[in-house]
């Protein structure tokens, strides 16, 4: 972990974090939701919304750290196939949920709508926050898989 937090890698983590959040912002259509949040501020569940934003930031950070870890491991010529696969699943899961699973479509419901299936993360018990927690668990598992061979 010390190697990843050194100077050239920390810049990559920051850049990947910013790019990931920007792409998530665009893919999820959150730019449209911001206007609605301001209009309907009185009816917004701020606890769920704040939790969702924090979880999105955590997912972005974990995606960035996983990406840099994969790069460092690949550069060291270590096997990291299962960690790469799990990191990819976590990153795609983060994009699927979007920034606020209650407010926006996200990629997963959008893909289902093309197939004629109506689905919204808002229909889940916690409004999609459970999917974000699952993505965080997947990304942490990926990081663990990538780091366990360090010795």
Give the Cα separation of 139 and 86 in Å (integer).
Answer: 7
Q: Residue 117 domain-assigned?
A: yes
Q: What is the pLDDT of residue 32?
A: 74
Q: What is the pLDDT of residue 23?
A: 85
> Which contiguous run of DSSP H or E holds residue 95?
helix 81-97
Number of domains in the chain: 1
Structure confidence at residue 100 as a pLDDT band (50, 70, 90): low
Q: Residue 1 domain-assigned?
A: no
Cα torsion angle, 83, 88, 89, 91, sign: positive
Q: Residue 2 domain-assigned?
A: no
Q: Residue 77 domain-assigned?
A: yes
Q: What is the pLDDT of residue 31?
A: 74
Q: Residue 92 domain-assigned?
A: yes
Please give the residue range of the domain that contains residue 60: 7-147
Q: Residue 45 domain-assigned?
A: yes
Residue 129 is encoded by which pair of tokens? 């926050």
> Please, are residues 95 and 107 in contact by the beta-carbon 8 Å criterion?
yes
Q: Residue 54 domain-assigned?
A: yes
CA dihedral in degrees (101, 104, 51, 146; nearest 10)? 60
Residue 83 is encoded by which pair of tokens? 């960690």
Tens-place pLDDT, residues 63-87 = 898 888 888 877 776 665 555 666 6
Tens-place pLDDT, residues 8-35 = 888 999 999 999 888 888 877 777 777 8
């Amino acid at each position: 972990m010390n190697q990843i937090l050194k100077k050239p890698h920390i810049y990559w983590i920051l850049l990947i974090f910013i790019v990931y959040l920007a792409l998530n912002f665009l893919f999820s259509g959150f730019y449209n939701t911001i206007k609605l949040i301001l209009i309907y501020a009185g009816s917004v569940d701020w606890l769920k919304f704040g939790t969702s934003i924090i979880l999105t930031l955590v997912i972005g950070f974990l995606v960035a750290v996983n990406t840099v870890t994969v790069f460092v491991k690949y550069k060291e010529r270590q096997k990291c196939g299962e960690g790469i696969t799990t990191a990819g699943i976590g990153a795609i899961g983060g994009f699927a949920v979007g920034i606020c699973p209650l407010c926006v479509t996200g990629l997963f419901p959008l893909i289902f709508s093309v197939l004629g299936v109506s689905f919204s993360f808002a229909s889940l018990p916690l409004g999609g926050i459970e999917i974000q927690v699952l993505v965080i668990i997947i990304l942490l598992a990926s990081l663990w898989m990538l780091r366990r061979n360090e010795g």
